[in-house]
Structure 1
């Protein structure tokens, strides 16, 4: 949890803001994410606003698209609200850390088995969306939220492949260096291969702390799959299901994304998730007493 700043809103719709989810200087998320609680104390949510300088109308349109994505493995958009000048959305709260905060809590890159588990779950989530013709278009480390049961992919920016998947300034301008496929950087639309390219960047980040690492930085067991995902040739990138098979051979499709059983996490990451949960409960007590 990050403390609120003076320029942070005290309320978002019917919710009282408690803390910021992202640290100062976080890159890759085209929105401001807050932990918030309803005024009656009955609901805790992650409430989101457009990033400073972004187009509220474009942001609201993308939030509406995200609300339609209900596939397992994605962080849901449960409530839309606000005005054209001040739109917002909210999702039910569960203890979660953006991937950069996970590495910070752990003290560096994650162990290879955990990278494989995270990558497999994300690949499965993308596969389930791609089957429906849905392209994400905004996959990046800060958009991955790790819970005790595995990762969830923030669905903000997700678009249907036709005709709504044209490159969006809101979705692409905030992407962390290394997550934007070359063809998208050249002005092309978001499509399934560009999602796989970004997935490769997330895997690289989890394994090394960088989205564009030197080859020798990447653990030997992950080099081939990460290199394939990050091929400059879109046709040379594997499908998400193939990425799942490379990361977790023999894993049953459908068993990872949106799982409800806890996964094995490093102790410091578990501690950070527990600390966040305790902080939210403590911060909510004054609200409940009003």
Structure 2
């Protein structure tokens, strides 16, 4: 049986599997893992690579499973490049890759490294059709995966967790949850028709809008508070200001444009935080 719906052959199959790589949503979890390395200060390249590959495998699993459910199970999407068998084969391969990475982390670092990494796959695999039917898990699944990616990236380098990575993980969890609420609002009409309980469906679009920006504002104030308390570098305030400028523009737009602006604003936010830590090492703050 063919794995790709466009036809048999190595090229068609490879293209179908490659189509499930979505850089816009895959890059933040990978970048979060590497940000954990930056926070750690010291780099062990092999361990960093293993953790990044594990996170990639988890996110790839999420996209495969989500596409499989939306097209082959729910009939929600108009098309999908992989057959049902192709989706299953892809899930086996991505899960096996993730498993190998976890085994390497266990042998090289310890069980806590695996305990911080394994939930990312659990969230990815169960996002559809389980977690995406509840307003809390539908909203926090992706942000929680990114927060865990950051903590795992830090832990595999240091063998410990400190207040700094925990603080950044909290900020990403809250900020990205706000963005996710806006993102889900794009599909309000359809989600309501299939009784998919996103925040927008549960409380209505206007209240969801307030919830989303309330979460984002809270995250930015957390950054300011940690910077004032010298937990974060003082220059982390620049990251908060940069994202606030983007959010102020997005606030007056519709969900589609707002999502595009906020996702890219989160890239700027992360980039400025990386620069703040890179050029002003946390160890020097006292």
- Please report the TM-score for the alignment, with normalisation by the length of structure 2: 0.32
Relative contact order, CA 8 A, sep 6+: which one is greater? 1
Higher strand share: 1
Larger Rg: 2
Higher helix share: 2
